[in-house]
Structure 1
Amino acid sequence: MRPLPFLLPVFKQGRPAWLIQVGLTLYDRFAGSDGLPGVRWLDRSEIAHHAPYMRSERVERDLRAAFLYADAQMLDDVIVRVAARAATRLGVSYAEQTRVDDITPLGGGYRIRMTSANGVQEVTSRLVVNANLLRWNVLPRTVCLLNVGTHLVFSPEVLSAKPKDCAATLMQHEDGRVVFFIPWEDKWLLGRTERGLEGTPDRMDCPPADETYPMAFATQHPDLREPEHNVMEVFCGARTIPLRQRAPDVGIGRVRSAWIQVPFDSPFYRRTFDGDASALSREAVTEESAPGLFTIYGGKFTTYRALSECVGDRIAPRLGCVTPCGCANIVKCG
């Protein structure tokens, strides 16, 4: 993690400034003493310093207020390596570039068949936790939205300012959707469009329409230099968002016969949502899909330690452990 300031402009067409300030103040209070500076109100002269990519004419014409608050940027690849090293100190083993081909009930547990460059391997386990989100064909008990977000990566040359010297910005497009513009690994990241997943997670791509929306934003709001010619990469990612609704009661026999091989065609997964998908809670739901087999839906990478504690507390009694899970007390490896 590394600190990353966020600038939040409030324009005439948006929410009132006092409401934004109340929300950010509560954000600070709930964050606790994390060592980051608190939220503060910016004057117009400070905006050009923190976000030189903001169009000056729009700032002069439409800006009602601007706030600067502190957040942190997660380096996901580093976090994974750190977590893996910490786990090995506790006796955990892990395998990379390995595909799980089959999980079969076996007595009071499961037999798992895996394939890697070293060939096929079988292991047995009393419990299985599926944290692979969309890459597993499990029918959820909670209805989930299959959601896709698309992002554009711009080269450093799209701005004269250096990414490391700038704050990130959250801005609202004309249709009400929030778009972020973030300094990211010495480049610039802009996102996101949100839509329902078309097809299945293993055959996902970014259709041209998904690029059109963020590009239209990039040419209208931030003052970028030839954004169309400075796009380095376009990528999209899918996730499940639990809708906190019970899955429809369709009968076990019908489920097995109709959807067990094509779960993403079932009514348990939705492709559309009547409302703002970005306003839905990202809080994870953990289900026991089968006896001893737990599946995680939703959640955010940044909350992986808290989520690990919740899952650990559920499975610990099954393994005869009486001590509560203490993920927060584990010393992290650098």
Structure 2
Amino acid sequence: MDDFDVVVVGGGINGAGLARDLAGRGWRVLLAEAQDLAQHTSSASTKLIHGGLRYLETYEFSLVRKALQERELLLRSAPHLIQPLRFVLPHAPHLRPAWMIRAGLILYDHLARRELLPGSAPLRLSGSKYGAPLRPEFTRGFVYSDGWVDDARLVVANAQDARARGAEVLTRCAVTQATRTAAGWAVALATGRQVRARALVNAAGPWAESFLRDHTQGADGRPLPARGLRLVKGSHIVVAQRFTHDHAYIFQNPDGRILFAIPYQGRFTLIGTTDVELPHNAPPPDHAAISAAETDYLCEQASRYLARPVTPADALWSYAGVRPLLDEGGSASSVTRDYLLEADTDGGAPLLNVWGGKLTTYRKLAEDGATQLGRLLGDARRPWTATARLPGGDLGPHGVDITAFTAALQARHPERPAALVARLALAYGDLAAPLLAEPAGAEIAPGLFERELRHLMDEEWACSADDVLWRRSKLGLHCTAEQRAAVAAWFGN
């Protein structure tokens, strides 16, 4: 039986981040994910690294400040996966006065140190390229900065770094039972393998509560107690490109919520998100899908601003994810997106439960969790991730300038199509060089060659066409059904 210091349950962003941080501190770590990395919530986000401008209205200044601090760190750690993005906020006078928005943006600019992003400013929309896609009544607005992220690849990069630092990463391998004893945890895996661990981390996201209820037990044979979670579905649609400039939009809705319209994959616009609370008898989170009512809502709210209306028939693709939020009462959109790390040592070995959280603050969550676990294990080791790059993030003399890095990469490989070089640079950063230097092999789908597929299978845990086309890339949007089938056939799916 193998021995580990920590077994981490869950291969979303929080689990992968914790495994990376713990492994980097020298702990023996096993990360076990029941399905694919980032298969659900962590690949179903709005693809933003942001402070959360709307949380200022609910006075969550601490959360916003923490997220803004992390935004700066993450832009430096993975400049290929995370890039600056400017947002246009059209002013709707009947919803919020202009002075209030300007004051909020100034506060947003100054809540945390900002070196990589320009600040906010008023913006005249009439006659500008940023006003052209909007209805004519929107004549003024504001512009501010946040960041865009390839969410699923961020999870994979954390898992890769965890493995490089000594962690064992298992995908499609559920923890079927974890039994606490005074000496440690006895952990059974779906493969039949049994391991021992000094501590257990429950980072199962939407499944965190059910994991404790159905797959753990104390020395007395009873399931461990669980905190109640509110499961909130967020859905998005992707439509044909509604504007050609490189800024995104943030729209204010009459219900008090906000909506994003984001440039996506060169040819599309991503619109989201919704906040729909799921009843306790809802299907498991892995079956989350957008409803007709959510599609109507997204189309209606986007059409309040866009000159070219959005209809349900325009949706080329949709996705939905379930966010696990702390149960604090109130509406789904007002529930905090902050996290809670809850240690439980009652009756034996340490258990750390991860409740809630948001993509932007995953690194801080992992740092806090690893420090807390170290104390529980009697050896508080120093944090290290604040200044460390993720795999692919070392752009050399180009720093965080992915555009300059891509141009240099293209100059070294002039024989390769510019679109392919740009995609590989964004996906793999400095790890793209070997993919371009070696023979590409057969082209299985447009722009997707055997050499990259072998890399994804051997180095990134990809096992199926969906793993590649919808998570590790979004090439599925650009492929026909026949081309997607060709990728599935390559995997033998």
Question: What band does the TM-score fall into relative to the shorter chain?
Answer: 0.7 to 0.9
- 1:17 is matched with which residue: 98, 107, 111? 98
Task: Determine the structure 1 residue equivalent to 2:251.
Answer: 171
Q: Give structure 1 stretches of 5+ with no counterpart.
A: 245-272
- Give the equivalent residue in structure 1 for 2:4: none
**Residue of structure 2 in register with 1:103 after alignment:** 178
Q: Is the 8 A contact 2:339 2:356 kept in 1?
A: yes
- Counterpart position of 1:128: 200
Alignment correspondent of 1:250 = none
Take 1:129 and 1:226, find their aligned partners in 2: how far apart are those partners?
43
Q: Is the 8 A contact 1:154 1:227 kept in 2?
A: no
TM-score under structure 1 length normalisation: 0.79
CA distance in 2, matches of 1:217, 1:122: 51
Quick check: 1:283 aligned with 2:368?
Answer: no
Q: Secondary structure at the match of 2:168?
A: coil
Residue 364 (structure 2) pairs with residue 306 (structure 1): yes
Match of 1:145 among 230, 240, 243: 230
User: Which one has the bigger helix percentage?
Assistant: 2
Distance 1:74 1:298, change over 3 A: same
- The normalised TM-score by structure 2 is 0.55
The answer on whether the counterparts of 2:295 and 2:312 sit within 8 Å (CA) in structure 1 is no
Query: Do the aligned partners of 1:190 and 1:214 also contact (CA within 8 Å) in 2?
Result: yes
Residue equivalent to 1:52: 132
Q: CA RMSD in A?
A: 2.3
Match of 1:309, SS?
A: helix
More displaced 10-residue stretch of structure 1: 205-214 or 311-320: 205-214
Residues 31 and 50 (structure 1 numbering): CA distance in 2 closer, same or farther, change over 3 Å? Answer: farther
Contact 1:40 1:69 in 2 (8 A): yes
Greater strand content: 1
Give the 3-state SS of the residue equivalent to 2:169 in structure 1: coil
1:264-304 per-residue CA deviation (whole Å, 9 max, x = no partner) reads: xxxxxxxxx544x3233211011135641211111111211
Q: Paired residue for 1:219, among 299, 303, 313? A: 303
Residue aligned with 1:15, SS: coil
> In 2, are the aligned partners of 1:51 and 1:168 still within 8 Å (CA)?
no
Question: Does the Cα contact within 8 Å between 1:155 and 1:230 map onto a contact in 2?
Answer: yes
- With over 3 angstroms needed to count, the CA separation of the structure-2 counterparts of 1:289 and 1:237, relative to structure 1, is farther
Change (3 A) 1:182 1:167: same
Residue of structure 2 equivalent to 1:318: 376
Against the structure 1 CA distance between its residues 243 and 228, is the aligned structure 2 distance closer, same or farther, given a 3 Å change threshold?
closer
Identity of aligned residues (%): 27
Does the CA-based 8 Å contact 2:91-2:138 persist in structure 1? no
Given the superposition, is the C-alpha separation of residues 218 and 23 from structure 1 closer, same or farther in structure 2, using an over 3 Å criterion?
A: closer
Other-structure match for 1:233: 317
Instruction: Give the structure 1 partner of residue 274 of structure 2.
Output: 193
C-alpha separation in 2, matches of 1:149 and 1:324: 36
Which residue number corresponds to residue 48 of structure 2?
none
Choose the corresponding residue for 1:154, options 225, 231, 239. 239
CA distance in 1, matches of 2:161, 2:249: 34
Structure 1 segments of 4+ aligned residues over 4 angstroms from their partners: 139-143
**2:192 aligns to what SS in structure 1?**
strand
* Match of residue 149, structure 2, among 74, 97, 101: 74
Residue in structure 2 matching 1:206, options 281, 287, 290: 290
Contact 2:342 2:354 (8 Å CA) reproduced: yes
The one-letter amino acid of 2:257's match is: R
Indicate conservation of the 8 Å contact 1:74/1:302, yes or no.
no
Deviates more, 1:125-134 or 1:312-321: 312-321
Q: Secondary structure at the match of 2:275?
A: strand
> For the residues of structure 2 that align with 1:241 and 1:99, how far apart are their CA atoms?
23
For 2:115 and 2:354, the matched residues in 1 are separated by 28
Q: Would the aligned equivalents of 1:8 and 1:169 in 2 still touch at CA under 8 Å?
A: yes
Q: Equivalent of 2:167, from 71, 92, 102?
A: 92
How do 1:24-63 residues align onto structure 2 when only pairs under 5 Å count? Answer: 24-45=105-126, 48-50=128-130, 52-56=132-136, 58-60=137-139
Aligned length: 291
Distance 1:33 1:274 in 2: 33
* Cα deviation, residue 142, structure 1: 5.0
The equivalent residue for 1:254 is: none
Aligned partners of 2:238, 2:255: CA distance in 1, in Å? 22
Q: Which amino acid aligns with 1:212?
A: D
CA distance in 2 between partners of 1:94 and 1:121 (Å): 14
Do 1:5 and 1:168's aligned partners in 2 also have CA atoms closer than 8 Å?
Answer: yes
Which shifted more, 233-242 or 85-94?
85-94
